Chain A
């Protein structure tokens, strides 16, 4: 596609529910990144994929967070047993290579009630 696409744009869930956030990167982009952005803050790195390999997951805040990219294109960020502190905008970015500029999607705004 023309850009990075994320879905849904908005997600409201009750505390304790599981959620899944989808990212469609730009076609041909090897690198894919997930970030968490709290209100009024900069993006915080969560995890990084090179093709289907998850090379860095050091930013995932707990074992409730899980990301996958099984075929090296679409990626899903899953949050289990959501908590209120998980409320944030989740941004996905892709790039041709790790050291190339990242192209961002519009994000998924997650609200946990």
Chain B
């Protein structure tokens, strides 16, 4: 069975500090992997995606993620957090049937 696990339901960083949100997947087939961000009372917005090719994926708002097959990970990073990055972040994966399996989300707080 496919699953997506986000480690840490809440992450707090200081403004300007590194952001690291962890995501691990389990899949019997090479996955498609996505990170979405959700601001309060809004839908989900795609940050970045990995399908095939380059394992380091750059997304919007300065975020990037690296697909590491050996670690079954797809962690999201940003070198310097901004106050506007405070939101809920969801990792999602899709196997051969392309149905998205979602992590439970990580709430990111950015402190001044």
Contacts and interface: CB of A to CB of B under 8 A. Distances in A.
Interface stretch (A65-73, A80-88, A103-111): A103-111
A102 B45 CA distance: 9
Contacts of A104: 36, 43-45
A1 interface: no
Q: Specify which of A40, A42, A43 lies most central, judged by the most chain B CB atoms within 10 Å of its CB.
A: A42
Given A99-B94, A102-B100, A42 B43 contact: no
A60 to B, nearest CB: 14
- B interface majority secondary structure: strand
Interface residues of B, number: 20
Contact of A103 (B42, B46, B94): B46
A39 B57 CA distance: 30
Contact of B34 (A6, A91, A101): A101
Given A91-B43, A103-B46, A41 B105 contact: yes
Contacts of B36: 104
A88 to B, nearest CB: 14
Contacts of B46: 101-103
Given A99-B32, A99-B51, A104-B44, 7 more contacts: A41-B105, A45-B99, A91-B44, A93-B43, A98-B98, A106-B43, A109-B41
A4 B43 contact: yes
Interface in B67-112: 90, 94, 98-100, 102-105
29 contacts: A4-B43, A40-B105, A41-B105, A42-B90, A42-B103, A42-B105, A43-B90, A44-B102, A45-B99, A45-B100, A48-B99, A91-B44, A93-B43, A93-B44, A99-B51, A99-B98, A101-B34, A102-B44, A102-B46, A102-B100, A103-B46, A104-B43, A104-B45, A105-B43, A106-B42, A106-B43, A107-B42, A107-B43, A109-B41
